[in-house]
Chains A and B, each alone.
Chain A
């Protein structure tokens, strides 16, 4: 097989903490062209109806690079088949692929997304179980709508070690999160992606270029933007609504808590007063009652959901900004061209 070299890639700022290197075992993800095409094809054929389309990534780990050399799609969740089917499907697939010398090591999974809305509990859980089992796994998020607009949108994410800790403890109370000092920015880290092709595939590319027609691949320069903006803003508004609900919940909780503190305080004071009175009258003081039984503290609401929503909102905003910056560029270009006429 041809020897492989690598080129350091351009990393795009996403939800990761920008600047500085990632302190994780995987610093870069190298994807083969074949995998990219398979993911695109899978969404195109099977993903028009339902929201997400998922699959497994196969490959190997070399130094601090994660090489993804192949992938296979997962069937959709149908009503009749149970989970058992999935595990068996996966096992069979991997066994068969091993026969034809394809890397059969699980290194992650991919998912398609709708306008960038992928930060959800399900994703977190799946990625956590993957990362727990395999240290270097990533989740590839493919955005088909952004791709259709002109540029391939593929991002690789991992959970930060801090978030892994928290998921392990399952401690989602506010105190727990405060201890780990996690904000929505430290939830996921983005890993830069490089696309790599072998020589033979490059030959294939030359052939294709020769034989295929020059398609109108100028979607990228399309000036219309309102449709996409509208949808993104709609999703953003929904999320902000969810967020405000969470905030209200948290506020009521803290108000309840402080009210309860007050009540406890008052009760204690009354107790003490009574005891003082009784003492002055010469009677035995009343026994101290167990505070915790009298005043049950309210349940602190889990903060994980609000964290996820915050992360999602951040993602939406980021996408919207990218989109608007592109469109502004196009508009200025159009203006310059018009000025010349």
Chain B
């Protein structure tokens, strides 16, 4: 199913913010809405920030605090002047009539705003994250309706974000949902373990293909040849040399820093004595 329209790229910060505002919603409110900030490109819209806006919703009317939204946007602009309002979000599964009204307001703020829904109530067992653009529909001349057309959603990360998200993902496994920050060598060990896991999976796949259980896939085969060719073949003496020189550098630096630390500690003690 090809989807026309820009691709929506979301940063995980935005989704975490939305979930957090949903958890902190007022008593009785069934959903939360807020503004999305980001940048617009020719073919893609990048959502980098968001903030929630207080609103009241009842059967036949909806009230959104516009002042608040404007104020917050000004404050945010002071910090990151490149972000503009690109749309709004709402938690919940469906799009209601109220959404249309709110969307109209946002179309005054930004040209062609996008509407993001995050299903925090997990109605369908998954947290559906969808984005929509509005389009006019109906018979010209008569009452015009609004249709929300879906857009493709992708998640993008900065490198550092990726690393942060990885750490956060590990809190899933601990039963008390918390995790301390590990220190040096254990991190290297962890990374090595992950690579090892990946290699085991690849090996298992290769075994399956060889024994005929799984049909061989050419593209995967090409990736595998790339992988094997990437490991450089270095004659052992050269490798020894490189290794030793590197180790020597590191040891020297460690020695120097220990020396410096001892020096300043000594200096401190002497000053205190004099």
Contact = CB atoms under 8 A, between A and B. Distances in A.
Interface of A: 1, 5-12, 30, 32-34, 36-38, 40-46, 69-70, 72-75, 89, 92-93, 96, 99-102, 144, 147-148, 150-152, 154, 174, 177-178, 181, 183-185, 192-209, 211-212, 215, 217-221, 223, 225-226, 229, 233, 236, 240, 243, 247, 250, 254, 303, 310, 313-314, 316-318, 320-322, 324-331, 333-335, 338
Contact of A207 (B80, B129, B187, B272): B129
Nearest to A10: B180
B249 A226 contact: yes
B136 interface: no
Given A96-B71, A313-B260, A45 B181 contact: no
B267 A247 contact: yes
Main secondary structure of the interface of B (DSSP, over half): helix
A310 B260 CA distance: 10
Contacts of A229: 249-250, 253
Given A37-B164, A193-B180, 4 more contacts: A151-B163, A317-B258, A324-B251, A329-B188
Given A148-B160, A204-B19, A329 B180 contact: no
Given A204-B15, A233-B253, A195 B191 contact: no
A174 B271 contact: yes
A327 B181 contact: no
Nearest to A193: B181
B49 to A, nearest CB: 8
A150 B258 CA distance: 25
Given A41-B11, A317-B261, A338-B236, A7 B180 contact: yes
Which of A34, A203, A240 has the most chain B CB within a 10 Å cutoff?
A: A34
Interface residues on B, range: 35 or more
Contact of A333 (B68, B183, B192, B268): B192
B257 A321 contact: yes
B260 A240 contact: yes
Interface stretch (B101-109, B119-127, B218-226): B119-127
B24 to A, nearest CB: 4
B43 interface: no
Nearest to B198: A214
29 contacts: A34-B17, A40-B158, A41-B49, A41-B161, A44-B158, A70-B20, A92-B75, A96-B71, A100-B24, A152-B163, A183-B272, A185-B265, A195-B179, A195-B180, A197-B168, A200-B22, A200-B120, A201-B20, A217-B162, A218-B191, A220-B188, A225-B246, A233-B253, A236-B260, A240-B260, A310-B268, A320-B257, A331-B247, A338-B234
B15 to A, nearest CB: 6
B183 to A, nearest CB: 4
Given A34-B16, A200-B22, A147 B164 contact: yes
Nearest to A205: B169
Contacts of B274: 174, 254
A211 B48 contact: no
B94 interface: no
Interface in B221-262: 234, 236, 239, 243, 246-247, 249-251, 253-254, 256-258, 260-261
B165 A37 contact: yes
A327 B185 CA distance: 9
A217 B168 contact: no
Contacts of B176: 5-7
B253 A152 contact: no
Nearest to A221: B191
Contacts of A46: 79-80
Given A196-B178, A325-B185, A328-B250, A201 B24 contact: no
B122 A203 contact: yes
B184 A326 contact: yes
A322 B250 CA distance: 11
Nearest to A226: B249
B156 to A, nearest CB: 8
Q: Would you list the 5 A-B pairs with minimal beta carbon distance, nearest first?
A: A9-B180, A317-B257, A101-B24, A220-B191, A33-B168
Contact of B159 (A36, A219, A331): A219
B272 A9 contact: no
B127 A324 contact: no
Nearest to B268: A183
Contacts of A30: 178
Contacts of B169: 205, 208-209
Contacts of A92: 71, 75
B16 A310 contact: no
Contacts of B24: 1, 100-102
Nearest to A178: B272
Of A198, A219, A223, A324, most B-chain CB atoms within 10 Å? A324
B213 interface: no
B155 interface: yes
A152 B68 contact: no
B264 A41 contact: no
